[in-house]
Amino acid sequence: METVVTTPHSVEDSPILCVDLDGTLLKSDTLYESLLRLVKKSPLALFLLPVWLLTRGKQGLKDEIAKRVDLPAETLPFHEEVVAFLQAEVSEGRRLALVTASHEKYAHAVADHFGFFHEVHATTAERNLKGKRKQSFLVEQYGEMGYDYMGDSKADIPVWRSCRAALLVEGGSVSAAHVEKDFHLEKSFSKKRNPFLLFRALRIHQWVKNLLLFIPLIMAHKVADYHLLLQAVVGFFAYSFCASSVYVTNDLFDLSSDRSHPTKRNRPFASGELSILTGGFLAVGLLAVAFALAFALPQAFVAILFTYFLITFSYSVLLKRIEVLDIIVLASLYTVRIMAGGMAVDVTVSKWLLAFSMFFFLSLACIKRFSELYRLKQEGKVNEVQGRGYQLSDIDQIASFGPASGYLSVLVLALYVHSPEVKELYHSPSILWFLCPIMLYWISRIWLLASRGKVNEDPIVFAIHDKLSYVVGAASLVVLWLAL
């Protein structure tokens, strides 16, 4: 964020500075933050929201949510430059007031967190302190032109009409040019938007997991059938858009835990660079596109895509907090992708392939959880992992689950190579035995690196950036080609 000063002022001669919270001091919005926490805590409360809104109005809605949800200020993303500016103003003797449409419970929590506000005025059960109501309140408190006001949106325009000087935090629904044209703009904080934020929110690099949908087509040796290949491509994008919808939803529900994470805190929603409201529309839109594509494929594919969505959504909301079940669900989602690939092109998926994938991806899911526990252990954490059902003492047990499952997948592969079905598909099936040592090497190596803390919490992301993983993949393709 870049600070732009248009007219200098003397702090000693300035009236009280009234500061808005949502979108101004805070990058996010306390209403949406608290609403997400409420739905995550009690999903059935979602059905009560319309009732509260219709019977008690918006201020009543905020009051009902505040009664049920705490919003610790230390977990929220604030505009650091705005905070630094306010601290400098206070140090020079300026009086500050936090004046916000946020519920008074959250406003006082923020004021207590910073400690530099002299007054706090916020929404209560009886009033929603926004727009013209905020303007009337401030004129009553300080008089016409008796205060300066810092805001960010069109809702603040009535307030600026009655203040001595306007201060603007850009990025909301009003521009500096607009405010400067109609009011005395004393200072503005301009924020440079990253044009790739939306792409980051979609996690397009994770779409590589959906390449699993092509495996049934490849294993059936029907890649040359362009009609089936096109169907697999459509299935790939349907799954990718659906997965991105779930990633966005998961990021929204995980805001508090992501903000305490050394790298996840920089995600678009956790950092406050993208609004929660934008995330909601994005998640719904991506899901709509996913199913629009799915309906171009067999009905079985639509059914399994819907099943995938239900499982992933349940994982985001609940299942990831249940120890052991979470890694089994993660592993099953990879297997479901392979099944979906078969349904997209109407190819029967081999039971050998399903058995191999279940054990193999269970090993990768264990690596994901092991790496998370390893990082926390290195940081000296001693408590239960936030948002998970594990404790740091479970790390050794996870380390025993993972390699064992990986080696079982190689055993399944060996049994498949020895099975009668292989002779029908491959000209030289004995060459496939070379896949076993290749897989043993890759699984052993990635677990060795994980035990040294060198594997990303997502092993798929690690493999994308690992040169030796590409060598292993190429070697496996050469073996398959020679066997054919």
Q: Which two tokens stand for residue 242?
A: 């659906």
CB-based contact 61:52 (threshold 8 Å): yes
* Lowest pLDDT segment from 106-115, 123-132, 236-245: 123-132
Over 80: is that where the pLDDT of 3 sits? no
For helices 299-317 and 325-345, angle between their N-to-C axes, nearest 10 degrees = 160
Higher pLDDT, 392 or 143: 143
Per residue in 430-449, pLDDT (tens digit) is: 888 999 999 999 999 999 99
Over 50: is that where the pLDDT of 7 sits? no
Q: Which CATH class is domain 2-190?
A: alpha beta
Per residue in 286-306, pLDDT (tens digit) is: 999 999 999 999 999 999 999
CATH code at 197-483? 1.10.600
Residue 182 pLDDT: 87
Over 50: is that where the pLDDT of 8 sits? no
Residue 458 pLDDT: 78
Higher pLDDT, 110 or 349: 110
CB-based contact 209:308 (threshold 8 Å): no
Residue 6's pLDDT band, with cuts at 50, 70 and 90, is very low
Over 50: is that where the pLDDT of 451 sits? yes
Residue 132's pLDDT band, with cuts at 50, 70 and 90, is very high
CB-based contact 50:128 (threshold 8 Å): no
* Lowest pLDDT segment from 3-17, 368-382, 461-475: 3-17
Burial 355-388 (b: 16+ CB within 10 A, else e): bbbbbbbbbbbbbbbbbbbbebeeeeeeeebeeb
Residue 60's pLDDT band, with cuts at 50, 70 and 90, is confident
Over 50: is that where the pLDDT of 310 sits? yes
Rounded CA-CA distance 212/357 in Å is 10
User: Average pLDDT for residues 152-162, to the nearest whole number?
Assistant: 92
Per residue in 374-408, pLDDT (tens digit) is: 888 887 765 656 556 778 888 888 889 999 999 99
The pTM score is 0.80
Report domain extents, the chain: 2-190, 197-483
Rounded CA-CA distance 400/323 in Å is 15
User: Average pLDDT for residues 38-46, to the nearest whole number?
Assistant: 84
Higher pLDDT, 483 or 410: 410
User: Average pLDDT for residues 36-53, to the nearest whole number?
Assistant: 87
CA of 23: how far to CAs of 84, 92, 128, 155, 368, in Å?
16, 25, 17, 11, 35
Rounded CA-CA distance 258/129 in Å is 31
Residue 260 pLDDT: 79
Q: Which two tokens stand for residue 119?
A: 């007054």
* Lowest pLDDT segment from 65-79, 216-230, 297-311: 216-230
Rounded CA-CA distance 342/215 in Å is 8
Per residue in 228-280, pLDDT (tens digit) is: 999 999 999 999 999 999 999 888 888 887 887 777 888 888 888 888 998 99
Distance of CA 471 to the CA centre of its chain: 32
